[in-house]
Structure 1
Amino acid sequence: MLIKSTRLMKKITLLIFLCSLAGFSQTIAVQSFATGFTGPVEVTNAGDTRLFVVQQSGSIKIVNPDGTVNPTNFLTIPNTVVLSGGERGLLGLAFHPNYATNGYFYVDYTRQTDGATVIARYSVSSSNPNVADATSGLVMLVVPQP
């Protein structure tokens, strides 16, 4: 029994060694896909081909499938609303499960006046899917912070 166990261990060790050699033969490189962001804190998608980049200062940019960044922000929450810096600012973005039909999405930001965490719902513009309706903001939840 001990001999079979020893042979098995040798085979497993050899297999692990051979598999590890395959990793050394690969070349790994980092390649930029999209650039030009200031304080990016999250990247997400709406279930389509676009990526949405949340910037801590209060804006959301759209990255197209070819890596180009739309010149117009998807949404900008003014700095009179968002308190940014450190662990504060525009920190999150989530799309409603039925975003394709209702256009709702949610943002998480730090409120300027008192530092509270705010979850607000916005909707996409009815005339342009690459721009949000900045006037549609509806505060859903406020959590006071110490």
Structure 2
Amino acid sequence: MDEISAFQLGRLKLSQIPPNRMAALARYALGSKAALLERASEPKRTAMLTAVMRHLEAKAIDEALDLFQGLMASRLLNTAKRKTEKERLSTMPQLEKASRLVARAWEVLAGELEAAEEHGTDMDVGALWAALEEVAPRAAVMTAAATVV
């Protein structure tokens, strides 16, 4: 891009030329052989070469931006993703432990509910808490549930 910009064609005022005409002239010149460009009359040759250089400059800028986007995605974003993944994996042991505790508490709760349903009795909340606290203290079960959530 710097090599193309060294021609300083960006300083030329070409706003009076329609962009589609500049693009057509650049396509024509890019598709032509050097001998044809050399034989072209002077104003036409300069116009074709200017159109080509403007086209190449715009294309170089687009490609530089695409490259920059790719580098940003691969270097910065992937680094952030790896860091997030590493942090998530570091919480797995706590989540696993909390999940086991919640599962054991659920087994006790479900067993008590099934027993009350089979016998047609009302639930004794105190007895239910006592059964749950055999698994773990009430605060530990609540903390484990919050961790899983």
Task: Quickly name the TM-score band, shorter chain normalised.
Answer: under 0.3
Give the helix-richer structure, 1 or 2: 2
Greater relative CO, 1 or 2 (CA 8 Å, sep 6+): 2
TM-score, normalisation: structure 1:
0.27
Give the strand-richer structure, 1 or 2: 1
